Chain A
Amino acid sequence: MSIAPAKILASLSINGSVVECAFNPNKTLLEVLREDVGLTGTKHGCEMGHCGACTVIVDDLPVLSCLTLAVESIGHEIRTIEGVARDGVLHPVQRALAESGGAQCGYCTPGIIMSAVALLEQNPAPTREDVAQGLSGNLCRCTGYTKIIEAVENASAELRSAR
């Protein structure tokens, strides 16, 4: 075993629930979510901040879980892809992506959804350019972003009309 400093016993607030877990200080939020909490919906494509696949929302802002320590996340509200649908009802961004073919291989999709959900919470009526900006930290190799951007626009329209 690596000689690692002692594990930290901590409570993390994830998707509105308090989760108790123990982890080494060098574990990133990404690793703790996937390996200790069992939330494998958050993906990883580089672990270096170069792709956006691991995006989660911390205190209402999209951030990269691969470059955030789990220990730094104590006391903050963490939201992951598993917490986006409520009571089995999909978020409009999720539904729009599914219906428009915005998810092909689906690997970047959780990160894209976290960026898009945060974007629409901050800016309920984004322009197409705003959406492209909001998703500019998430690489996708399948879709050319076209259907993803359309889906976020559709979700934005739906959210506004529901208001």
Chain B
Amino acid sequence: MLRLPPFEYHAATSAEEAVSLLARFGPDALPVSGGTDLYANMKQRLFTPKVLVGLRPIADLQFIAYNAVTGLALGALATLTDIADSPVVRKYYPALAQAAALISTPQLRNTGTIGGNICLDTRCNYYNQNLDWRKALNYCMKKDGDICRVAPGSPKCVAVNSSDTAPVLQAFGARVHLTSPTGTRELPIAEFFLDDGMFAWARRHDEIVTKIVIPPPAGDTRSAYRKLRLRNSFDFPILGVAAVVQLDGAGKCVAAKLVLNAVSSRPVEVSEAARALVGSALSPETIGDAADAAFRAGRPLDNTSATIPYRKRMVRVFAQRALEDAARAVPLAD
């Protein structure tokens, strides 16, 4: 049986207690919420923290709240099941509910949290392997080694952000709230994700994500998420596309965001796609142009299932389909 390495476990009952524990134990300590990602990685000895700070008992972070003025606030410990099933999420942010429902399996969604999902470790099939497997390859730069096995010339790790919710949250313009012993801060989620497979988040070691806030949908906002995977369950995305569009009364697109994931160490926002869409009604031409822009922006590498050319080719198809889904979506009727 694959087992966890030894560690001390400290349960926190408040965010403040959690961050003070993290500060006290320093970089040897890691926070854990659902644990579905971290425990699996620890079993492969990708992490061997001396101390785990358990966030699960923090009741204050287990909420989903919607307000027409401030929008949606997701406690970091809201589970993926709760988000997928939430009536307000389904109504106002359907792409987020879709993305949450497509994550892994029912059991993991019951345990996995939204805070954990945006902090999901970047993935690579040279990295997510048991210790002995990695040893046979003499390791990789993300863990215990010197070079990137995917792109040996690369100065940085190219492991991919494999979160389903990350591109959706970014497309909705979410902000991430963090708490540390020195106080709280918030930042746009686009700035929370960094373009480096080893250092992929702006979270400091003594910080935890406390909540994620999404502005209320403006006017006729529609959204959709499309996920490429080889099976209809269990799998991480090997491509994720989130589309959020806002239409005016005449059906003209006044705002748009198209965000790709699983093709880079952080979600890739395709601003050129937005430019192709904004200013005219959604048509086969504008959607096609936006999908072409996505195709140019998506640059998968050989570190997930399926081939590079296939994933690259699917960027256009999935971008088009996500935009078509959004265009077809039932508008909000308040």
Interface residues of A (CB under 8 A from B): 2-5, 8, 24-28, 31, 44, 46-50, 52, 55, 61-64, 66-69, 71-72, 115, 133-134, 136-139
Contact between B56 and A64, CB atoms less than 8 A apart: no
CB neighbours of B54 from chain A (8 A): 69, 71-72
Give the docked Cα–Cα distance between A137 and B39 (Å). 18
Give the docked Cα–Cα distance between A51 and B50 (Å). 28
CB neighbours of B2 from chain A (8 A): 46-48
- Binding-face segment, B101-109, B182-190, B240-248, B305-313: B101-109
Known A44-B1, A47-B1: A137·B106 in contact at CB below 8 Å: yes
Considering only CB atoms, which chain A residue lies closest to B110 in the complex? A61
B133 at the interface (CB under 8 A from A): no
B232 at the interface (CB under 8 A from A): yes
Contact between B1 and A72, CB atoms less than 8 A apart: no
CB neighbours of B43 from chain A (8 A): 47-48
Q: How far is the CB of A73 from chain B (nearest CB, A)?
A: 10
Give the docked Cα–Cα distance between A5 and B9 (Å). 9
Q: How far is the CB of B230 from chain A (nearest CB, A)?
A: 14
Contact between A136 and B5, CB atoms less than 8 A apart: no
B233 at the interface (CB under 8 A from A): yes
CB interface residues, B 6-52, toward A, < 8 Å: 6-9, 11, 35-36, 39-40, 43-44, 52
Contact between A26 and B110, CB atoms less than 8 A apart: no
Contact between B106 and A134, CB atoms less than 8 A apart: yes
CB neighbours of B81 from chain A (8 A): 61
Give the docked Cα–Cα distance between A144 and B178 (Å). 45
Contact between B234 and A50, CB atoms less than 8 A apart: yes
Give the docked Cα–Cα distance between A24 and B106 (Å). 28
Q: How far is the CB of A56 from chain B (nearest CB, A)?
A: 9
Contact between A137 and B233, CB atoms less than 8 A apart: yes
Contact between B107 and A55, CB atoms less than 8 A apart: yes
Instruction: Identify A133's interface contact among B1, B8, B35, B106, CB under 8 A.
Output: B106
Give the docked Cα–Cα distance between A136 and B276 (Å). 38
Q: How far is the CB of B232 from chain A (nearest CB, A)?
A: 7
Give the docked Cα–Cα distance between A150 and B5 (Å). 41
Q: How far is the CB of A52 from chain B (nearest CB, A)?
A: 6
B4 at the interface (CB under 8 A from A): yes
CB neighbours of B5 from chain A (8 A): 26
B111 at the interface (CB under 8 A from A): yes
B3 at the interface (CB under 8 A from A): yes
Instruction: Identify A63's interface contact among B7, B11, B107, CB under 8 A.
Output: B107
Contact between B3 and A31, CB atoms less than 8 A apart: yes
Give the docked Cα–Cα distance between A138 and B1 (Å). 18
Give the docked Cα–Cα distance between A68 and B104 (Å). 16
Give the docked Cα–Cα distance between A64 and B40 (Å). 12
Q: How far is the CB of A29 from chain B (nearest CB, A)?
A: 11
15 contacts between A and B (CB under 8 A): A2-B6, A5-B9, A24-B6, A25-B52, A26-B3, A47-B2, A49-B108, A67-B39, A67-B40, A69-B35, A71-B11, A115-B106, A137-B104, A137-B107, A137-B234
Considering only CB atoms, which chain A residue lies closest to B130 in the complex? A48
Contact between A136 and B111, CB atoms less than 8 A apart: no
Contact between A28 and B39, CB atoms less than 8 A apart: yes
Considering only CB atoms, which chain B residue lies closest to A139 in the complex? B234
Contact between B9 and A64, CB atoms less than 8 A apart: no
CB interface residues, B 100-134, toward A, < 8 Å: 104-108, 110-111
Contact between A5 and B7, CB atoms less than 8 A apart: yes
CB neighbours of B11 from chain A (8 A): 71-72
Contact between A52 and B105, CB atoms less than 8 A apart: yes
CB neighbours of B9 from chain A (8 A): 5, 8, 25-26, 69, 71
Contact between A62 and B107, CB atoms less than 8 A apart: yes
CB neighbours of B39 from chain A (8 A): 28, 66-67, 69
Give the docked Cα–Cα distance between A62 and B39 (Å). 18
CB neighbours of B108 from chain A (8 A): 49, 64, 67, 137
Contact between A64 and B1, CB atoms less than 8 A apart: no
Give the docked Cα–Cα distance between A24 and B39 (Å). 15
Query: Which of B1, B40, B105 counts the most A-chain CB atoms under 10 A from its CB?
Result: B105
CB neighbours of B1 from chain A (8 A): 31, 44, 47
